[in-house]
Amino acid sequence: MKIRATQAIMECLLEQGVDTVFGYPGGTILNVYDELYRYQDKIHHILTAHEQGASHAADGYARSTGKVGVCFATSGPGATNLTTGIATAYMDSSPVVFLTCNVGESTLGKDAFQEVDITGIAMPITKATYLVRDPNDIPDIIREAFAVAAMGRPGPVLIDLLKNVTALDVMIDYEPLPKEEHQYYGRLADLRKRAGWDLTPPAPNSDDVDKLVELIAQSEKPMLICGGGVVRSRAHEEFRTLAEKLDAPVAITVMGGGGFPGAHPLTTGMLGMHGSRSSNIACDNCDLLIAVGCRFSDRVATEPATFAKQAKIVHIDIDRAEIDKNVKTDHHIIGDAKQVLQMVNDRIPAYQHPAWKEFVFSHRPAAPEESAALTPYQIIRTLRELCPQDSIVATDVGQHQMWSIQHFHFDYPGQLITSGGFGTMGFGLGAAMGAKLGNPDKTVLHMTGDGCFRMNGQELATVSHYDIPIITVIFNNHTLGMVHQWQNLLYGGRFSETDLNFAPDFVKLAEAYGVRGRRVTTRAELADTVREALDLGHAYVIECIIDTDETVRPMVSAGKPITEFLLE
């Protein structure tokens, strides 16, 4: 049937089951927004304060639901404002389809108003980019884009449509096609034919799995790393079975948060630069290290040459290019974590490693002491006690992020939303909005610092307008805490440009946006406020005043072996 090209865009989104999109209109994308007006009862559009906020919201939505997030923006500055969000999604393998419009064919390449080569700019930070010059390509390209974003190792994809392609008098042929059929038609069918790919993930290599089973049988001191791949493939149950069968300690990376129960007796907590003593020491002493869906980033393998030096390293990952990229491994299995772990679990007996576990867990630090003062630990403890255990936690980046990951317990994939790879300050508020819209039944906490909150705090306008009940907790130490910590430890206390003691009044700022806010300085005040916020059912901003010199511990310097603690 013949329909408007813009209508085909909406129909293709509906084919994918999209009901929420985030974005910001502008000159070149006017036609698409005009069509959206007609579809507003089917596709809920969230107008953010800034395109960056929209990009993070789509990302947070994707991470928390496991679905593909969708974000719209106009050409030029609208498109470039997305780039930080695109890179954030790319580094953390989050599936988001970004849809931008560009100037029309007749002015393309002539430096027209608000023209930018966004497909070129986004090339290194996306799985694929598409420049749509022919309206007839719209259905095929959108179908391909969603498949590429979601499958294999997920990631962002960008579609740039020329304005003339979206003109309201452009009619194209469109046949509705259920999502499962997409692979048999058009470009997706060509792609499959060409590369011999399939929609059903091929089984992992059985011999590779057997070799791991053998290595497990020989190991006396096995250890597991739960990486982001466990979360993305929702392989948490399989991973837990493996850990329990192996009776091995489990270290969890930042991206792996939620892949393994945070309070499980086998977990040693975070690994690497701010990893726990027991994680880092276990990693240094184990004889078999099985890393699932992790890429041994420089924040985990702070010094690749000595990382897990006594161990045979086995890397399970869906992306072949990750093998031997950062750390040289002894064996690898390529495949979806869920499938690989299932195969491994079916082939191994239950083991017991009491002596090894005793050694590892003897390095577990004692829980911090009770105190009435408002320390980072006490803040998180209070939240943990008062909020439902399944609350989603979205963080910004810095000290509060590390504290949150260290002290909250995450139990399921999508419970922790954090910018692990790109370290994007200002990610949290947008991401929390996306997470709440994707999970209306869950309590969503947005953990942030005074530095981060200033970066995209204007999204409080969005939170307020759409009445998105998220609880923002600002750790206000009046400084850029993580940089301050490095300056204190490594730069002789020369606090160059990190003092934020001129912050706005966050409570008044929240009120200006129509959001209730309160400043707290004691645990008791915090507890009262959290209760009030939970009861209120609307957004709330809680500003916690903490000491400027609070540090994230333990800490290993960049480039040093993970057992050389600079701070214990």
Partner 1 sequence: MESKEHTLSILVENTPGVLSQVSRLFSRKGYNIESIASGTTEDPKVTRITIVMNGDDATIAQLAAQLRKLLCVISVKVLSTEDAVQRELVLVKVKADTKDKRDEVLQIVSVFRASVVDISRETLTVSILGDENKACALMDLLADFGVLEVVRTGIIAIERGIRTIYEDTKESGEFNYGKNVL
- In the complex, least distance from residue 232 CB atom to partner 1, rounded to whole angstroms: 13
**Binding flag, residue 66, partner 1 (CB under 8 A):** no
Nearest to 415 by CA among 456, 379, 387: 387
Here the tokens at position 435 are 């997470």
Site for partner 1 (CB under 8 A): which residue of 45, 63, 127, 277? 127
Q: Which is nearer to partner 1, 336 or 396 (CB)?
A: 336
- In the complex, least distance from residue 346 CB atom to partner 1, rounded to whole angstroms: 20
- In the complex, least distance from residue 193 CB atom to partner 1, rounded to whole angstroms: 11
Torsion (CA) 421, 447, 554, 258 in degrees, nearest 10: -60
Spot the catalytic one: 127, 163, 221, 357.
163
Q: How far apart are CA 561 and CA 364, in angstroms?
A: 19
Total of chain residues touching partner 1, rule CB under 8 A: 38
DSSP code, position 541: E
**Binding flag, residue 177, partner 1 (CB under 8 A):** no
Q: How far apart are CA 558 and CA 46, in angstroms?
A: 40
Spot the catalytic one: 183, 401, 482, 485.
482
Candidates 43-51, 172-180, 190-198, 404-412: pick the segment binding partner 1 (CB under 8 A): 190-198
At 364 the three-state DSSP class reads coil
Interface pattern 283-322 for partner 1 (x via CB under 8 A)? ----------------------------------xxxxxx
Q: Which is nearer to partner 1, 145 or 473 (CB)?
A: 145
CA distances from 564 to 99, 196, 278 (A): 46, 47, 13
Whether residue 51 lies in the annotated active site: yes
Spot the catalytic one: 105, 113, 218, 328.
113
Q: In what order do the strands lie in the sheet with 392-395?
A: 416-417, 392-395, 444-449, 470-476, 540-545, 516-520
DSSP code, position 82: T
Candidates 18-26, 89-97, 122-130, 345-353: pick the segment binding partner 1 (CB under 8 A): 122-130
Give residue 335's identity as a one-letter amino acid code.
G
**DSSP-derived secondary structure for 444-466:** EEEEEEHHHHHHHGGGHHHHHHT
Strand 565-567 and strand 555-556: the pairing is antiparallel
Whether residue 237 lies in the annotated active site: no
**DSSP-derived secondary structure for 109-135:** TTT-TT---HHHHHGGGSSEEEEE-SG
Whether residue 273 lies in the annotated active site: no
Q: For the purposes of burial, counting CB atoms within 10 Å of the CB of 233, is it exposed (0-12), middle (13-18) or buried (19 or more)?
A: buried
Residue carrying the six token digits 């129960």 = 261
Q: How far apart are CA 7 and CA 380, in angstroms?
A: 47
**Binding flag, residue 199, partner 1 (CB under 8 A):** yes
- In the complex, least distance from residue 129 CB atom to partner 1, rounded to whole angstroms: 8
**Binding flag, residue 191, partner 1 (CB under 8 A):** yes
- In the complex, least distance from residue 319 CB atom to partner 1, rounded to whole angstroms: 4
Q: Which is nearer to partner 1, 147 or 544 (CB)?
A: 147
**Binding flag, residue 183, partner 1 (CB under 8 A):** yes
Site for partner 1 (CB under 8 A): which residue of 134, 214, 220, 324? 324
Site for partner 1 (CB under 8 A): which residue of 128, 170, 489, 527? 128
**Binding flag, residue 546, partner 1 (CB under 8 A):** no
**Binding flag, residue 325, partner 1 (CB under 8 A):** yes
Site for partner 1 (CB under 8 A): which residue of 323, 337, 383, 530? 323
Site for partner 1 (CB under 8 A): which residue of 77, 202, 365, 368? 202
C-beta pairs of 210-213 under 8 Å, 24+ apart in sequence: 210/347, 211/331, 212/290, 212/314, 212/331, 212/333, 212/344, 213/344, 213/347, 213/348
- How many residues can be counted in the chain? 568
**Binding flag, residue 483, partner 1 (CB under 8 A):** no
Candidates 7-15, 128-136, 280-288, 462-470: pick the segment binding partner 1 (CB under 8 A): 128-136
Looking from the CA of 62 toward its CB, the CA atoms found within 13 Å total: 33
Candidates 96-104, 124-132, 282-290, 520-528: pick the segment binding partner 1 (CB under 8 A): 124-132
Residues annotated catalytic, as ranges: 51, 113-114, 163, 482
Chain residues binding partner 1 by CB under 8 A are 119-120, 123-124, 127-129, 131, 147-148, 151-153, 183, 188, 191-192, 194-199, 201-202, 205, 317-325, 334-336
